[in-house]
A and B are shown apart, each in its own frame.
Chain A
């Protein structure tokens, strides 16, 4: 008797819907044991988290605030992952976007007509993020340098660069020695809609629409999907992998850059503490959303809830907020582990035999 995995021709739709839900529940159970091991009541902890993230209007708006950068970086990561380019560098691309926007707000806005400040911040922020994403893409396509490592190393560099700027030359001279730049002039503020929720949410949703359109309605989107699904087929049909890689990474880095712009212009209104890990959570968002733009919007909201809930946990129960990171990792494990049920049919065979002429997949 043996267990046999038979590859499904098309992944199972029911399994595709059921597995994320089940994975989430299993991850909760798994993390409950971890919490119990640390002497924390998991039921109480999870209810504090849910209440803190979704339990009131204030909670919902705070969740929305954190969802904005997750949506933008998640969309960027998702489109890169679509063509199997492992862009782990959203964090750094976001940082560069924030730096460029801050430069405009701090040093150029005095010389510009008020109405042009924000558009210029978004434009230059997107450009800076795009360039930060372009470097690994060029290194990959012309030299074959591993993009996971280059994007990651560039994150570390970008994070240090942000710190250098707001602790060093860009530090607010009137800030009594506290870290952070001077507050931005009002022309550089992204308008707020409700609570601390700013117009970044509108940009994120527009980005999702554009991305959905590109992926499902244009030839470019078709090429991206083809490269991701079958690189050789793409090559034989004359699709340029280099060209697509460059364009996708400009878009991916640009979206993360805009996330950085939205953070400094919409939320902090100055440059300070920009890199808090959204770029890494974006990887989970993109993967859980199955790289689908609408999925990214939804999952980003849920993951933001997890982050806000984690913060609440720290305030209410003095439980480290890192719980939400542990949960994120666990969810990803279970989703990964269960994807086999969507892609394979599992059978128990009585007598193992080699099927003649079995294809080598």
Chain B
């Protein structure tokens, strides 16, 4: 295989995987605290819409990113309030967030272009790819891994930081305790509700950023249904990753690879109709879920935080 081919495949793989990984990391931290946020798809699409709208009108890409972080955090805050303070059903609250977010993003997409018109087809500020000095000279991975946009580079730094935070710091220990044994964490003097609020909002911000990467770097523009189920795939990736940030990276590369393959086959004029090529990520998600769940069963490994999705109330403790 020649280098140019490998580089191009690898580059698309990573590019497609960035937003997935941001969203997956966000959901991992949310779920680690014991909160199941099924609103990923809705937050992501809102992140994409706000990032594009704000950057387009302000002519500043970074303001767009900031807006996506803010919107992601706010939507997650709503979910946190419903599921932590009001003890509402987390599954339904997450679904509501997705329906609400999809609707509002579509609404914004049709109204926030110049003079109240559509945002479809507009060209706004975007994050372009640039090669990193020295690192991009490495054969094969240089011009693929180290020739990406700034949000990708931030992500490269974020993965080891989040891993270290989760497993090697006191705060990470508290976070895991809250998700596994909230009663015990509470007895240790950790504020369970506050911890859950904190990481749900943090997770939402990362998910919002995932959306921003879609509309400002990967696809560079707004389109209805821009996320196309990526939020749900991210939730599946959390299970695949067994709630581990580094394993999430493997999953994102895997799904990015599916995307790259899809592009390649389409470009090569494959005889398979494009509808079937477009089904690949969804079909693959099901297959991955089946395999990983079976594997966890056989290995008797329970990956999910023990208190995931369960409300916690001090008064109710024994």
Residues of A within 8 A of B (CB): 4-7, 34, 38-39, 86, 88, 139, 143-146, 148-150, 152-154, 156-157, 160-161, 163-164, 167-168, 280, 283-284, 287, 320, 322-330, 332-333, 336-337, 339-340, 344, 358-361
Contact = CB atoms under 8 A, between A and B. Distances in A.
Nearest to A286: B92
B229 A156 contact: yes
B284 to A, nearest CB: 9
A149 B236 contact: yes
Interface stretch (B62-70, B106-114, B150-158): B106-114
24 contacts: A5-B315, A6-B315, A38-B107, A139-B290, A144-B293, A146-B236, A149-B232, A149-B286, A160-B275, A320-B106, A320-B107, A323-B107, A324-B103, A325-B102, A325-B107, A327-B103, A328-B100, A329-B96, A332-B96, A332-B100, A333-B78, A333-B82, A333-B93, A339-B88
A139 B290 CA distance: 7
B106 A168 contact: no
B313 interface: yes
Contacts of B81: 337
Q: How large is the interface on B (under 10, 10 to 19, 20 to 34, 35 or more residues)?
A: 35 or more
B184 interface: no
A337 B78 CA distance: 10
Nearest to B315: A4
A245 B229 CA distance: 26
B285 A153 contact: yes
Contacts, number: 151
B5 interface: no
Contacts of B116: 39
A361 B316 contact: yes
A154 to B, nearest CB: 7
Contact of B97 (A5, A329, A337, A361): A329
Interface of B: 38, 42, 78, 81-82, 86-89, 91-93, 95-97, 99-104, 106-107, 110-111, 116, 228-229, 232, 235-236, 239, 273, 275-276, 278-279, 282-283, 285-286, 289-290, 293-294, 297, 313, 315-318
A4 B315 CA distance: 8
A164 B275 contact: yes
A143 B297 contact: yes
Contacts of A337: 81-82, 86, 88
Contacts of A339: 86, 88-89
Given A143-B297, A337-B86, A360-B317, A150 B78 contact: no
A325 B106 contact: yes
A145 B292 CA distance: 9
Contacts of A156: 228-229, 279, 282
B104 A333 contact: no
Q: Give the residue among B42, B86, B229 with the most A Cβ atoms within 10 A.
A: B86
Contacts of B282: 153-154, 156-157
A92 to B, nearest CB: 10
B286 A154 contact: yes
Contacts of B103: 322-329
A340 B279 contact: no
B49 to A, nearest CB: 11
Contacts of B106: 320, 322, 325
Q: Give the residue among B87, B97, B235 with the most A Cβ atoms within 10 A.
A: B87
B185 to A, nearest CB: 16
Contact of B318 (A144, A161, A280, A360): A360
B286 A150 contact: yes
B173 to A, nearest CB: 25
A168 B286 contact: no
B86 A146 contact: no
Contacts of A329: 42, 96-97, 99-101, 103-104
Contacts of A86: 91
Contacts of B82: 333, 336-337
Given A336-B82, A337-B88, A339-B88, A322 B289 contact: no
Given A153-B236, A326-B104, 18 more contacts: A34-B104, A145-B289, A146-B239, A146-B289, A153-B229, A153-B232, A153-B282, A163-B275, A164-B273, A323-B103, A325-B106, A327-B103, A329-B99, A332-B95, A333-B93, A336-B88, A336-B93, A340-B86
B164 to A, nearest CB: 29
A280 B273 CA distance: 27
B289 A149 contact: yes
Contacts of B290: 139, 143, 145
A294 B104 CA distance: 30
Contact of A322 (B89, B110, B316): B110
Contact of A88 (B95, B111, B286): B95
B218 to A, nearest CB: 19
A153 B283 contact: yes
B225 to A, nearest CB: 10
Given A143-B294, A287-B92, A340 B87 contact: yes
A179 to B, nearest CB: 13
B315 A283 contact: no
B99 A325 contact: yes
B60 to A, nearest CB: 21
Nearest to A144: B293
Contact of B100 (A148, A287, A330): A330
A320 B113 CA distance: 13
A73 B113 CA distance: 35
A211 B280 CA distance: 36
Contacts of A327: 103
The 6 A-B pairs at the shortest CB distance, nearest first, are namely: A329-B100, A325-B103, A164-B275, A332-B96, A322-B106, A360-B318
A284 B282 CA distance: 24
Q: Give the residue among A34, A329, A361 with the most B Cβ atoms within 10 A.
A: A329
Given A284-B99, A340-B86, A326 B316 contact: no
Contacts of A287: 92
B99 A144 contact: no
B275 A5 contact: no
A143 B313 CA distance: 32
A34 B275 CA distance: 36
